[in-house]
Amino acid sequence: MDSNTPIENLPGIGTYYARKLKRLEIKTLEDLIYHFPFRYDDFSQISTISNLTPGEKISIQGVIWQIKNIRTRSGKFVTVATIVDQSATIEVIWFNQPYLTKTLKAGLPVSLSGKVQLDGNRPKLISPSYEVLRSTHHSLVPQNLGEVGSLITHDSTLHTGRLVPIYPETEGLSSKWLRAKIANFLPVHKDITRDFLPKKIIEDQKLEPLNSALSKIHFPKKYADVDIAKKRLAFDEIFTTQLMSQLRKKDWQEKRNSPKMKTNKKKLTLFIKKLPFNLTNAQKRSIDEILNDLNDTRPANRLLEGDVGSGKTVVAAAAAIAAFENGFDTLFAAPTEILAFQHQKTLDSILEPLNIKVGIWTASKKLNGDITCGTHALLTSFKPERQVGLVIVDEQHRFGVAQRAKLFLNHSQKLTPHLLTMTATPIPRTLALTLYGDLDLSILDEMPKGRQKIATFVVPNFKRNDAYRFIEKEIKTGKQAFILTPFVEPSETMATVKSATVEFEKLQTKFSKKTKLGLLHGRLKSREKEKIMGDFKNNKIQILVATPVVEVGIDVPNATIMLIESAERFGLAQLHQLRGRVGRGKHKSYCFLFTDSRSETSIKRLKSMGKVHVGFELAEIDLKMRGPGEIFGLTQSGFFNFKVADLSDQKLISTAQAEAKKIIEADPNLKKYPLLSEKLTTLNLQYSQPN
């Protein structure tokens, strides 16, 4: 047996429980051991029955004096037991568990943990956790209180009388079941697992040895044990991520050659001069960084991030001009057809003075160009006319790792294209460096002049009709509005479409018959989408009801209202992206966040949208309040599933990054660290699966 042993092959698991465990992403022995508690019930206080206080969470240890099932008038069962210790007796009640009388018999010593409740003047334990203790005299009912102590062996308990770990569960797998299995297999895992972290790092950073940390996070004796364990396990997550990033960067740059592109300063100056706006300092800085990358035979691998409207496409266009002037084509991959068409239109307009042909390659339309914008179709059916020298990937986290790699495998020919990835999702620098440690980073942290702040309001349900009346009023003055229904699932599905369709039908009854509504979702045919978008841009449709998966890229300066249903389901960075679709013209614009949530935390989080208008600041708030997954709104292929690490902990990230760099500089092939190398191989296999 090793740590990668399939879960169904472990004793006492089998195929039935393996299917349930796989719902929790537990597929191997290692996955089971790394299924960590998310909280602990403190039942460490063991009290005598005579000293119990109502409302307290406590544990008692005693002997079952008697136990029986009572059938109620409604036909349900109540199990009633009397427990005795050396000080007194107490009644214990369980509901609808008649099978307990087969397990718990009179004379058995037990440990019970729960909350003490008053029934009249008498304290009782209602539905406590329980476990049977070892006994010196099996099933011997005590004749008096003095005999109880001699019948109990006070051994270590698992489910009671301690800090009890509570795990993420699924139907048919309780925390008690998981606790028992983890307690059973933890010693097995310990026997076959050697610590992969170099001893010097453990000593320098004062970290707990791995097996000790795993024991302490599952079965701590005190809360301090949990902190000690989390420090080590969080370090592991960041450190291994950084090592893999550094190794990927080294492999990327050393094993591939890319075209060295010289900058035609005359053409670049002409391009900038012909733009209908002035570049921000951040755009100028980012263009210089990217052009400097291209002037090297080592393949560029840069992430350009910035808010909606910060001007990423113009920066990408400057890079594409450099490729064109050096005799190379550019591919521009976007996650949706609408966004691909939007990029083609933008690039076509700003590159027209330079006579650079911009093509489009999607399922519905195929036209080659010196720069070709497209969707996933670029991965399969596209054949470039010249060597591809530059690949630009927009919203790269919506492409799987394998898909991104395919862009290069298909078109690499003799030379590897330079890579520029872009995202409008404002990722805090610490998180970006953790997730994309193998990429160089350019940040557009300035907005072009003239971009207005969008008035943002959280709208409770009882004010819904007021919001509709406001929208109607705006429409009468010639303005337009978006109404977005939430993601039902991570990708566009029939369920998502149905949700949008139901909302569309409902909204038609909320506005006057003169108001024209349109419905846009990803399951429509391309021609239908283009017609609806065209009608919206030309104000033939006043209100566009849409799903978020297709709204990215729609640019309608006359739209002044963004209404988002079930806003609590979105990350703040997502909401910021969505509201960035309005306020693109000269008119005052508004964003209404509708929510059914009554959670104070949720409302407070949404209200921050009204106070903060910088995407990076909102992303930092979400990172602290909801964790890294919520910055993107869903778990992304190729991203790391951090179970312990707090990615707002800059000190931890900096320390782990520094240690990773030291290791790579001293031993780039990890020959001195075979266990660490083996660990990284396992993680690479785990995180490089295609979508």
Answer yes or no: do 156 and 281 share one domain.
Answer: no
Q: Report the pLDDT averaged over residues 186-202.
A: 94
For residue 71, the 8-state DSSP code is E
Burial grade of 544 (CB within 10 A; 0-12, 13-18, 19 or more): buried
Exposure string of 153-176, with b = 16+ CB inside 10 Å and e = fewer, is: eeeebbbbbbbbbebebeeebebb
189 lies in some domain: yes
Residue 588 has pLDDT above 50, yes or no: yes
| Sign, CA torsion 228/234/240/245 | negative
Q: Cα separation of 328 and 321, whole Å? A: 9
Whether the model clears a pTM of 0.75, i.e. scores above it, the answer is: no
681 lies in some domain: no
| Sign, CA torsion 456/462/463/466 | positive
Q: Cα separation of 88 and 50, whole Å? A: 5
Answer yes or no: do 152 and 30 share one domain.
Answer: no
Cα–Cα nearest to 438, from 406, 408, 401, 398: 401
687 lies in some domain: no
Burial grade of 584 (CB within 10 A; 0-12, 13-18, 19 or more): buried
- Of all residues in the chain, the percent with pLDDT exceeding 90 is 48
Q: Cα separation of 323 and 317, whole Å? A: 10
Answer yes or no: do 556 and 410 share one domain.
Answer: no
Q: Alpha carbon of 675 to those of 193, 251, 304, 394, 671: distances in Å?
A: 10, 20, 35, 37, 10
Residue 174 has pLDDT above 60, yes or no: yes
Q: Cα separation of 297 and 196, whole Å? A: 36
Greater pLDDT, 487 or 111: 111
Q: Cα separation of 609 and 593, whole Å? A: 9
Rounded to the nearest 10 degrees, what angle do helices 223-254 and 674-687 cross at?
80
Residue 377: Cβ within 10 Å count: 18
pLDDT at site 268: 94
Answer yes or no: do 429 and 357 share one domain.
Answer: yes
Answer yes or no: do 68 and 10 share one domain.
Answer: no
Beta strands 517-520; 543-546: pairing state: parallel
Half-sphere exposure of 35 (CA within 13 A, CB side): 29
pLDDT at site 99: 93
What values do phi and psi take at 499, rounded to 5? -60, -45
Q: Which residue has the tokens 């990835």?
A: 421
CB 302 within 8 A of CB 271: no
Residue 358's pLDDT band (cuts 50, 70, 90): very high
Q: Which residue has the tokens 């568990």?
A: 97
Cα–Cα nearest to 63, from 98, 104, 116: 104
588 lies in some domain: yes
> Among 198-202, 306-310, 472-476, where is mean pLDDT lowest?
306-310
Cα–Cα nearest to 377, from 359, 390, 354, 350: 359
Q: Whats the size of the chain, residue-wise?
A: 691
634 lies in some domain: no
Answer yes or no: do 382 and 279 share one domain.
Answer: yes
Answer yes or no: do 586 and 463 share one domain.
Answer: yes
Q: Cα separation of 30 and 140, whole Å? A: 42
Q: Alpha carbon of 235 to those of 30, 219, 226, 242, 310: distances in Å?
A: 18, 20, 14, 11, 35
pLDDT tens digits for 211-233? 999 999 999 999 999 999 999 99
pLDDT tens digits for 15-37? 999 999 999 999 999 999 999 99
**323 backbone φψ class: left, alpha, beta (φ>0; ψ -120 to 50):** alpha
Residue 635 has pLDDT above 60, yes or no: no
Determine the longest span between alpha carbons in the chain, in angstroms.
102
Q: Which residue has the tokens 């993420």?
A: 168
Burial grade of 229 (CB within 10 A; 0-12, 13-18, 19 or more): buried
Q: What is the mean pLDDT of the chain?
A: 85
Residue that finishes a domain, picked among 596, 612, 628: 612
Greater pLDDT, 523 or 112: 112
Answer yes or no: do 302 and 431 share one domain.
Answer: yes
Residue 148's pLDDT band (cuts 50, 70, 90): low
Residue 680 has pLDDT above 80, yes or no: yes
Answer yes or no: do 514 and 485 share one domain.
Answer: yes
Residue 634's pLDDT band (cuts 50, 70, 90): very low
Q: Which domain holds residue 189?
A: 1-42+177-193
**What's the CATH code of the domain at 89?**
2.40.50.140
Answer yes or no: do 323 and 378 share one domain.
Answer: yes
Answer yes or no: do 73 and 119 share one domain.
Answer: yes
End-to-end Cα distance, the chain: 30
